[in-house]
Amino acid sequence: MTHFLDIHKTPKDDLRRILDQALAMKNARTGRPKGAADDDRPLAGRMVALIFEKPSTRTRISFDMGIRQLGGQSMILSGTEMHLGHGETIADTARVMSRYVDAIMVRTFSESSLLELAHHSDVPVINGLTNRTHPCQIMADVMTFEEHRGPIKGKKVVWAGDGNNVCASFLHAAGQFGFDFVYTGPAQLDPEQVFIDGARAEGVNVRIERVAARAVEGADLVVADTWVSMHENRTACHNRHNLLKPYQVNARLMSRAKKGALFMHCLPAHRGEEATSEVMDGPHSVILDEAENRLHVQKAILRWCLGI
Ligand code: CP
């Protein structure tokens, strides 16, 4: 069974093939209405279940649109309205769903729920975000970088702020695609050591730099994300704003990066917190390309999972 659970669990060659196919499919759609099906409809007659235990705008819409463009059908399911892990075991849900649908995308809280679902599923399972990782987002981000600046291998990527689940997938990607990674943020919010060690084991030059201005020197890409993730309580995390203020990505900080550096944010953003509108809407920003590329790269991931 070919699941897409995390970037570091997917063979390097397959990741590259997914990106190549995503770009080819994107180019083939140039000038088409967004709702039009692709010429090739490999998902015809297939159903994909999209399970959301957390809110989503981009993941929900991009998967749904992508499945339609590939000629398939999708059903969007709310985790709270299912018996997933409460009322029946995740294993039973996985076994039953495998009798109905051809693939499952799940956005859930704990990584163990994702892994348990995948373990007991007879159809491919795709990670649409857990509290620990967000691989579809980073595949779109690598695609976006390479569209704008060519191969990401050997480039310097700086993550500013909370070392969260999206940051973790960037560390996985650094190992698979071979770019340097600098984390700049307060020690309390460092990425989990296991992600840093994993990247280093793949030969990645991972650096932690507490001074943001120093971290972004010579950066090819600067990335920010929300200071409080979806699974965290904003009120309880109020102090975090003081910790993270020095790591806000603003025009002054971006000016320390390489000329022509890109700025990314997976969205949703709290403008004026982790990044200013000046940066988000400025010449370095590729935030809308990242969002669009979710669509194309997830179509390629689905095709890879289903072998179609
Ligand atoms: N970036 C991202 O996953 O967006 P959503 O939470 O809107 O799906």
Interacting residues of 100 by C-beta distance below 8 A, sequence separation 6+: 47, 49
In the prediction, which pLDDT does 79 show? 87
Block mean pLDDT (10 aa), the chain, length 308: 97 98 98 95 98 97 98 95 88 97 97 98 98 98 98 98 98 98 97 98 98 98 91 75 95 98 98 98 98 98 98
Axis crossing angle, helix 165-177 with helix 193-201, rounded to the nearest 10: 10
Residue 184 Cα to ligand 1 middle (Å): 23
Residue 128 CA, closest ligand 1 atom number: 3
Residue 231 Cα to ligand 1 middle (Å): 13
Look at the alpha carbons of 188, 165, 17, 3 in this order and tell me if their dihedral is positive or negative.
Answer: positive
Task: Tell me whether residue 22 is exposed, middle or buried, using C-beta atoms within 10 angstroms of its C-beta: 0 to 12, 13 to 18, 19 or more.
Answer: buried
In the prediction, which pLDDT does 236 show? 67
Identify the active-site residue in 294, 296, 303, 305: 294
The CB density around residue 121, as the number of other CB atoms within 10 Å, is 22
Residue 217: φ, ψ to 5°: -50, 120
Residue 251 Cα to ligand 1 middle (Å): 25
- 167 an active-site residue? no
Identify the active-site residue in 64, 141, 225, 298: 225
DSSP-assigned beta bridge partners for residue 84: 88
For 60-122, what is the HEC assignment? Answer: HHHHHHHHHHCCCEEEEEEHHHCCECCCECHHHHHHHHHHHCCEEEEECCCHHHHHHHHHHCC
Tell me which residue has its CA closest to atom 3 in ligand 1: 59
- 188 an active-site residue? no
Residue 284 Cα to ligand 1 middle (Å): 21
Axis crossing angle, helix 90-100 with helix 111-120, rounded to the nearest 10: 50
- 266 an active-site residue? yes
Best mutation site among 136, 141, 266 for ligand 1 pocket (most ligand atoms within 8 Å of CB) = 266
- 134 an active-site residue? yes
Q: What's the CA gap between 35 and 105, in Å, rounded?
A: 21
- 92 an active-site residue? no
- Ligand 1: residues with CB < 6 A are 56-59, 129, 137, 266-268
8 A C-beta contact, residue 18 and residue 301: yes
- R_g (Cα) of the chain, nearest Å: 19
Residue 179 Cα to ligand 1 middle (Å): 24
8 A C-beta contact, residue 177 and residue 15: yes
Segment (H or E) for 184 = strand 180-184
Residue 80 Cα to ligand 1 middle (Å): 18
Best mutation site among 56, 106, 167, 223 for ligand 1 pocket (most ligand atoms within 8 Å of CB) = 56
The number of angstroms, rounded, from the C-alpha of 199 to the middle of its chain's C-alpha atoms is 17
Interacting residues of 145 by C-beta distance below 8 A, sequence separation 6+: 152, 155, 220, 221, 262, 264, 286
